[in-house]
Amino acid sequence: MRSNIHDLLPPGLRRSLTKFGGDLARARRKRRLTVAMMAERIGVAKSTYSRIEKGDAAVAMGAYAMALFVLGFGEALGELADTRRDDTGLLMDEERLPKRIRVKKTPTAQ
């Protein structure tokens, strides 16, 4: 049964999730781990882990995070939306900088 979220995803995002799931499957096989072994280590059912490898968007992000951790990619998740690499956000910050800085004059005491 396909979830409603699948219908809402833009095609590019769907392709990215499918590729991500396939990459996880290849990494698992390179490590000689079975689907059952991965599911047990992640703490999900085998069917849920199979959905991860298909890139199912309805699977909880925590399950994807655990899969990355088990495969040795746990640190990569923290780098995905790193604000230091957010080119759009950095440009927006730059645009908000004032053109000039003016010091307010204060009345002098007599």
Distance CA 37, CA 49 (A): 10
Structural domain boundaries of the chain? 4-76
The topology under which CATH files domain 4-76 is 434 Repressor (Amino-terminal Domain) (1.10.260)
User: What does each C-alpha distance from 40 to 33, 45, 55 come to in angstroms?
Assistant: 11, 7, 19
Q: 76-104 pLDDT, tens per residue?
A: 888 888 888 888 888 888 888 888 888 88
Residue 74 has pLDDT above 60, yes or no: yes
Q: 15-56 pLDDT, tens per residue?
A: 999 999 999 999 999 999 999 999 999 999 999 999 999 999
Q: What pLDDT shows up at residue 83?
A: 83
